[in-house]
Each structure stands twice: as structure tokens, then as C-alpha cells.
Amino acid sequence: MNRHNFIDSHEKLQTLPESSLPSLAQEIREELINTLSKTGGHLGPNLGVVELTIALHRAFRTPDDKILFDVSHQGYVHKMLTGRRDRLSTMRQHGGLNGFLLRSESQHDSYGAGHAGTALSAALGMAAARDHYNQKNHVVVVAGDAAFTCGVSYEALNNVAATTKRLIVILNDNKWSIAKNTGAIAQHFNRIATSPAYAHLHEQAAKFIEWIGGKKARSLAHKIETSVKQILLPSVIFENLGLRYYGPINGHDIPLLIRTFEFLKTQQEPVILHILTEKGKGYAPALAKPHKFHGLGKYKLETGETDSLSTPTYSEIFGKTLARFAADDPSLVAITAAMPDGTGLYNFAEAYPHRFYDVGIAESHAALFAAGMSAEGLKPFLAIYSTFMQRAFDMIVHDIALQKLPVKLCMDRAGLSGDDGPTHHGLFDIAYLRAIPHMIQMQPRDEEEFVNMLWTMLHYQEGPIAIRYPRGVGVGVAPRKTPLLLPIGQAELLCDGEDLAILGLGNFCTIAQEVALALLKKGIKAAVINPRWIKPLDENIVRTFAKKTALLVTLEDHALSNGFGTAVAEFLLAENIQLPLLRIGWPDHFIEHGSLPILRKKYGLTVEAITEKVANFFLKIS
């Protein structure tokens, strides 16, 4: 039984003698491993920051002091130590704790997040506000080394020295984001961490901690600072940007961390502390497969194994299909932003390592990079989650679409992303792409059509073309060996009907078919249309059924605002067609986290709820 399970706040944490903190860390680590095996979640990142989080909450006092976790998927221990430990079992469950930090969840969550690279800029803004009000609290950033592959992180670093004299940045270096970190920045941190001088530096840091206090501390700090600069010249990059560099130190040594934080609190200049941690520490399966245990569903406690899916996911089909296409087309290349596993591109990477590019967490760069490749005749498939493609919006407009470059935008996790919540739902990509000139956009209803669409994308060279597809598995339709080219802008009529027509986009097409069968039992004959194309819309089929039926219905796994249904409404308005249109999709607010069945039921997107809504609406206008 845990001896320290009552430790769930700053006040209680302070009651423990420092000698008991390592055992508290072990108990928290065991609690994470056991609980998340039942709920799923970001296990690896949180196991790596247990000691760091304990030390932070020992040295700082939230909510007065502000602790910002970049991405915040590593904030579970922070939640446990700020009054939410008894709700750990509700993590990522509907109505329970969110898997990321939320300002609305606790006053101790000073800043919400879910995307990488935001913490430095936000913290700098908080520091500026603190200085404006002449307050004395501390602002602390915890950013993984992967966050430093984000351009926005460097935009923030460029402004630190000119903005504040007091900011504490903790560089949590574990060599991983979701996948293994790539690029020069990762190599730079690795050179520091693997320097032969590291052991000497660690010893010097330990001596320094022993001497904290008065003139001796200042004198020794100056000596160590000089030594660090001489030994680890690459750290000067931070000092040139106005942050005093310290480290690297052991990120699992709680006493060392606490004393270092106490020293950094006294500094009247921005500082960056480089700590080394081990992602997945304390759980052998997570150490063996850091990429898998970054974020996962339920797993077997003893082995770390997860249930395998009998049906391949869209992501898996995507990676295997691109690899197959690439065998016959040497101009096909694939790009992702730190998501080779999540997007399924590990298959492509293994088969064609010299035609695969992981640019790190740098979506804007990825889009520009793809634009440059396309300008020189390559056929880049840019695979990024829908929620993260938002970060490349300007580049899609200005660099890709304006120049009519045939970049292939592949948006995984389009639609509701479930347990990850509002930061990860892909509910806005139709809206932000539909308004862009020259853009082609589509969504498949099943796996076979998905492969056909990828084949069509490969051969489309007139401008940018985008595909959105959901998280997880499809409906189980095996793709044909020889894919088909699809006529752009041509929908598919699945069944005819004279009373109303349902246009079910993508993964909601199956729902449309089920709704039509349920309506037939009520005596209502509904046509079902697979739109395929969001832009260009199949105007002919919409016009035909607008004349033939009394009602058009659109179903989409997207926000209703400026979604697919809006495209149909705009066409009817432009054609001056006076026909009722019922648009069904997600409402105009950020949808919380939870399983798909629970959220679809809550928001009226089940077959039963849609059938009732359509039937009532039809009877009302009849």
C-alpha cells in the first residue's frame, strides 16, 4: 500500500522530509503505470518527469508561481500534486481529467496546451505581465528538447532578453518527441549530453549545490559558468540569445533539482537549465518502446502489450499504399512532422529511407519544404494530423495554393479524435481549406475509396490536393489491387429515393446508409449520396436531387460552421434553389474529450438521433 498516497498538494508535499521524496517518486510512478494500464494515456512522458515535477512543486508555489508545461501531455504528475490525485483513474475519460492541462480544470494549470512549442512564448507573455504589475512571482517553462524543433520556440527565445529579466526555462532532454528526435538541434543537445566532460560537469554542479549561499555561491557559480562555456561551447547559443545556461544535470536527482531551482530563483536574468531524463523510466516495456508508450490505449500491466486490431487503420493503409506507389514512381516522396508512426509512414521510411523526411515538430517548415520539392518536380505527400495542419495554414495559402503547386496534403485524425480532446479534434480542416482558391479536397467513405483517392492525388498535378481521413479503422472494405482514378468533382449515388437525399461525407456515409434504412421503416424514402469531393462540390448531383426531393440532408464529421453542409448551402443560394437543407455535424464550440460513442450520443450524432431529427424535420415541411 502506498505510504504517501495522501500527498496531493503543495502543503502536504512540504511535510515530507527530503529523504522521503525518492520513495514518493517511486509510488507515483507505480500509480501511473497501474492506472494508465486501465485508461490509456501518455505514460512514457510522465514516467520521465516524476522527479522533476516533485522538485518543481517543492521549490515553487502554484498558482502564484506559474509552471507551463510545453504540450502538457507530461502534466499528469503535476495534476496529482495539485489536488487531482484521487481522480487519476478518470484520465481521458468523459467527464474526467483531460490528458492535457486546462485552465478551466484547475487554477494550478496556468496555461492550457496540446500542441508543441507554445510554452516559451506564453510564459514570456506572463513574465511581461508580471513585470508590468511589479509582481515577484516566478514563471517556469518545462519544455522537452523536441519543442526546440518548433520555429515558434526560437521566435520566443529571440525576444526573451528584451522582454524580462526573470524567466526560468527547463530544457527536459530525453531525445524523444513522439518519435526519435531528428535534425541539427537534436544532434546539438546530444553532443552536450554525451560530452566526455559531462561527468566532470555533474560533479562540479553537485559541489556548487553544496556551496549555495552568500559570496561563496556567487564566486563558485562564476567559476562553473566559465568552465561550462569552455567545456561545452555549444551552450553559447542560448547565452547569445540572452539566457544564462546551466547544465546538463541529472533530471532524476530530486535533491539536486530542488537546490538548483532554489538557486535559479535568485537570479536576476533569464536562465535555462538543461536536464537529462529518461522517457519511460521505471517501466521496462516503455523503455524498450518509447514511441509506442508516448501515448497509447489500455495495455497489459505485466507485458505492456496492447490489443491488436484485426482491421488495419487508415494510417497503416496510408503508409503501405504510398510505399507500393513509390515502387513505380521515383518522384514520390513523403514528409511528416515528428509523426512517422502516427501517420503510418514507418512502412514508407523503411522501404525508401532516402525519400522519407521527418522534419521534427515544424509543420510550417514542412509545408514550405514540400512546396520547394514540388516546385522542382517531386510529388510530395505531406502527412500531418488535421489539428496540426492548422499550424501551416499561411504556407498552404501563400506558398502552395497561390503558386498552384501540386503538394498532396494528407490529414490524418480528421473529425473527432476522441480521448485526446479539443486540442486534437480535427473538426476545422474543411473550413480552413475550403476557402482557398485552387484547392481540391476530398474524404473517402471506406478503405478502398481511400486508396483510390491516394492514387488520384498522385496523378493530379494541376495544383494542391487534400484528403482528410479519420483516426482508427475503417469499415473493413479491402482495397483492390489495381486502384482507380476518380473523376474529380463527381459524387457517387449509393441508393435512390424520392422523398429526401442524404449526403453522408466520408466516415459518416455509413451512418447515412443506416439512417436511410431506418427512415424507410417510417415510410420515408431517402437517397444516399457519397459526396467524395468537398471541393469541387458535385453541383450536378446536388441540383438533380434538389429538384427531385423535398429535403437535402448533409452529414459530416466536422464543425457545422463553414463545413461541408455550408458548401451545399452556398451552392443552393447561388443557384436560387428554394429547398430546405438540414445540416448535421458538430456544434459551434470546442468538443470535450471522451470516447466516440459517448460524444456522438451526447451531441445527437448516433443513427437513432439523426433518424429522429431527419424524420421530424421532413414531416414538418411535408
Show which residues are catalytic: 279, 363, 391
454: nearest Cα among 379, 564, 562: 379
How many C-beta atoms surround the C-beta of residue 116 within 10 A?
29
Residue with cell 443557384: 575
Q: Count of alpha carbons within 13 Å of 545, Cβ hemisphere only?
A: 30
Residues 7, 16 contacting (CB under 8 angstroms): yes
In this structure, the strands spanning 533-535 and 440-442 are antiparallel
**Where are any strands of DSSP class E within 74-176?**
139-144, 168-173
* Cα–chain center distance at 383: 13
3-state secondary structure of 111: coil
| Adjacent-strand bridge partners of 142 | 69, 170
CA 422 to chain centre: 10
The widest CA-to-CA distance across the chain, in whole angstroms, is 89
Amino acid at 258: I
Per the CB < 8 A criterion, the answer to whether 342 and 385 are in contact is yes
Helix (H, G, I), strand (E, B) or coil at 552: strand
Nearest of 151, 149, 207, 157 to residue 173 by alpha carbon = 149
Q: Which residues contact 565 (CB under 8 A, 6 or more apart)?
A: 554, 556, 581, 583, 584, 585
**E-strand spans in 72-203?**
139-144, 168-173
Q: Under a CB-based contact definition with an 8 Å cutoff, are residues 360 and 182 in contact?
A: yes
Residue 489 CA to residue 174 CA, distance in Å, equals: 47
